[in-house]
């Protein structure tokens, strides 16, 4: 299932309640093959005094001169592909998440993370604060000019934030980060549970709803076993309970309906 959308900027929500759920903070601070996404075709629209285009999917601008002919061109596919390339280039990113027990690196751009999710915004600020405090302590230990020069060079090379993520599957979290940057994601039976928990964790309501829609479709097709198995891997997330409830609610109703038909 491919899903595309745009997330509102900096939606208000509580921070520490969700940040502390899946991240561990320390006083010390420590490519990617993108998945298939839905193609978004380029869109061209025209405006004139004789005709008007009414399409909510294209942001049309009003011509300043009613006699002026205006063409609006939109190519979101190119932008999406460009963002995927950036995520494959660690040198172009300034945040690295170390995901899971194996600490698999997943790269991202902090400016995009911060504007797409208030939780990511607060998380980044917290790690910047921790990093600045660590650097101040290290600077106090430097006494000679040569060492000061080395510290200055090291600081330039350590602008990247490194954030550990303990409770996500690396590839699922990578898909989540791609969605935040590109607005596009492929949802599967294996990843829907982790993506739903991530959407709940980082306040991405459009992705959360897409995951629920996908689960509902799988239930209708009687393909729930894989989803249940993957959901059990996220028992430590409060959002996983909602998935369990949704699946078992439908299964119970189906069982009751079948039992009544048999009785008749």
- Domain limits, the chain: 2-39+76-124+163-263
Q: Among 223, 174, 177, which residue's Cα sits nearest to residue 202?
A: 177
For residues 35 and 186, the answer to whether their CB atoms sit within 8 Å is yes
| Three-state DSSP class for residue 60 | coil
Q: Among 96, 127, 126, which residue's Cα sits nearest to residue 109?
A: 96
Residue 31 CA: distances (Å) to CA of 35, 50, 144: 13, 51, 39
* Residue 48: alpha-carbon gap to chain centroid: 39
pLDDT of residue 120: 97
Angle between helices 192-201 and 239-263 (to 10 degrees): 130
pLDDT surpasses 90 at 47:
no
Confidence of residue 32 (pLDDT cuts 50, 70, 90): very low
pLDDT of residue 159: 76
DSSP string, 203-262: T-HHHHHHHHHHHHHHHHTT--HHHHHHHHTTTTSTHHHHHHHHHHHHHHHHHHHHHHHH
pLDDT surpasses 80 at 221:
yes
State the Cα–Cα distance between residues 126 and 107, nearest whole angstrom.
Answer: 18
pLDDT surpasses 60 at 251:
yes
Q: Among 204, 250, 19, 131, which residue's Cα sits nearest to residue 195?
A: 204
pLDDT of residue 26: 42
User: For the stretch 143-152, what's the b/e string if a residue is b when 16 or more beta carbons lie within 10 angstroms of its beta carbon?
Assistant: eeeeeeeeee
Which helix or strand (DSSP H or E) is residue 45 part of? strand 43-47
* Strands 43-47 vs 70-74: parallel, antiparallel or unpaired: antiparallel
Q: Which two tokens stand for residue 177?
A: 């980060």
Cβ-proximal residues to 15 (8 Å cutoff; 6+ apart), any chain: 118, 119, 122
Q: Among 180, 63, 163, 61, which residue's Cα sits nearest to residue 103?
A: 163
Share the mean pLDDT of the chain.
76
Model confidence pLDDT, tens digit, residues 120-179: 999 999 999 998 888 777 777 765 555 555 555 455 446 789 999 999 999 999 999 999
Model confidence pLDDT, tens digit, residues 96-116: 999 999 999 999 999 999 999
Q: Which two tokens stand for residue 173?
A: 């979290």
First to last CA, the chain: 38
Cβ-proximal residues to 28 (8 Å cutoff; 6+ apart), any chain: 134
Q: Which CATH number, 3.40.50.300, 1.10.1060.10, 3.30.710.10, 1.10.10.10, labels domain 2-39+76-124+163-263?
A: 3.30.710.10
For residues 179 and 194, the answer to whether their CB atoms sit within 8 Å is no
Model confidence pLDDT, tens digit, residues 175-210: 999 999 999 999 999 999 999 999 999 999 999 999
Q: Which two tokens stand for residue 101?
A: 């027990």
pLDDT surpasses 70 at 118:
yes
């Amino acid at each position: 299932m491919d899903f595309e959308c745009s997330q509102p900027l900096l939606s208000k929500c509580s921070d520490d309640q969700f940040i502390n759920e899946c991240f561990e903070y320390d006083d010390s601070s420590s490519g990617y093959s993108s998945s298939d996404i839905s193609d978004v075709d380029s869109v061209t629209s025209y405006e004139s005094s004789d005709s008007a285009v009414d399409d909510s999917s294209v942001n049309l601008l009003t011509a300043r001169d009613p006699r002026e002919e205006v063409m609006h061109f939109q190519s979101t596919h190119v932008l999406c592909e460009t963002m995927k390339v950036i995520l494959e280039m660690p040198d172009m990113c300034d945040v690295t998440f170390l995901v899971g027990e194996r600490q698999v690196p997943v790269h991202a751009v902090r400016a995009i993370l911060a504007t797409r999710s208030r939780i990511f915004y607060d998380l980044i600020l917290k790690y910047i604060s921790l990093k600045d405090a660590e650097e101040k302590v290290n600077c106090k230990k430097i006494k000679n000019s040569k060492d000061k020069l080395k510290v200055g060079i090291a600081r330039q090379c350590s602008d990247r934030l490194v954030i550990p993520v303990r409770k996500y599957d690396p590839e699922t979290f990578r898909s989540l980060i791609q969605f935040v940057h590109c607005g596009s994601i492929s949802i599967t039976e294996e990843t829907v549970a982790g993506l739903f928990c991530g959407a709940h964790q980082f306040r991405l309501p459009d992705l959360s709803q897409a995951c629920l829609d996908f689960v509902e479709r799988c239930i209708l097709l009687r393909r729930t076993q894989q989803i249940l198995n993957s959901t059990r891997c996220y028992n430590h997330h409060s959002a996983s309970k909602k998935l369990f409830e949704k699946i078992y609610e439908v299964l119970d109703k189906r069982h009751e309906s079948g039992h009544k038909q048999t009785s008749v």
